């Protein structure tokens, strides 16, 4: 294989462009859809997409539980009750969440949803349906919390 001249390839630039195109398409889809129940998950793309926040809307209100010690880039996944989902990039700084250059509260208000952020302490964050991280399960493999009585 012969070496190529010129600057090295920038796969992140291509990925960023792809996310921008997808974000634009998904934004159009979300804006065209009527307001439904939403599930919102924030993940940390710098740490293998570890969840750092989650919430679900009810009656036009969404309470988002957010790991209070977290700051940095996030991937925001919004799932509608019909199974469709949208993904956006954002940032958390000083407890403020920004998505597409605007506060998450304003971003959701455009969809008829009022946001409340509830800070939670601690690093580990588990979501229903996800496996726990190694070392979090105190029971040995094959054992359950309801041990058979002797």
Is this model's pTM higher than 0.85 or not?
A: no
| pLDDT computed for residue 26 by the predictor | 64
pLDDT band at 115 (very low <50, low <70, confident <90, very high): very high
Give percent of the chain above pLDDT 90: 39
Q: Place 142 in a pLDDT band, splitting at 50, 70 and 90.
A: very low
Closest CA to 66 of 110, 12, 105, 27: 105
Instruction: Decide if pLDDT at 46 tops 70.
Output: yes
Q: How far apart are CA 100 and CA 23, in angstroms?
A: 9
pLDDT at 82: 86
| Backbone φ, ψ for residue 93 (5° rounding) | -140, 125
Q: Which of 94-103, 115-124, 129-138, 139-148 has the highest mean pLDDT?
A: 94-103
Cα end-to-end span (Å), the chain: 69
DSSP-derived letter for residue 4 is: P
Task: Let me know the angle formed at the C-alpha of 43 by 77 and 78, rounded to the nearest 5 degrees.
Answer: 10
Q: Is the CB of residue 35 less than 8 Å from the CB of residue 60?
A: yes
Q: State the DSSP H helix or E strand holding residue 22, giving kind and residue range, or none if neither.
A: helix 11-32
């Amino acid at each position: 294989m012969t070496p190529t001249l010129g600057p090295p390839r920038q796969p992140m630039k291509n990925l960023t462009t792809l996310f921008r195109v997808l974000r634009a398409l998904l934004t159009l889809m979300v804006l065209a859809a009527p307001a439904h129940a939403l599930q919102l998950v924030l993940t940390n793309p710098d740490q293998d997409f570890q969840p750092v926040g989650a919430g679900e809307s009810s009656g036009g209100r969404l309470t988002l539980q957010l790991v209070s010690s977290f700051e940095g880039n996030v991937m925001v996944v919004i799932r509608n009750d019909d199974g469709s989902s949208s993904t956006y990039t954002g940032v958390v700084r000083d407890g403020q969440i920004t998505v597409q250059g605007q506060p998450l509260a304003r971003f959701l208000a455009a969809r008829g949803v009022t946001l409340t952020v509830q800070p939670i302490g601690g690093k580990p964050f588990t979501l229903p349906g996800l496996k726990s991280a190694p070392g979090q399960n105190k029971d040995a493999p094959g054992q359950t919390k309801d041990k058979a009585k002797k």
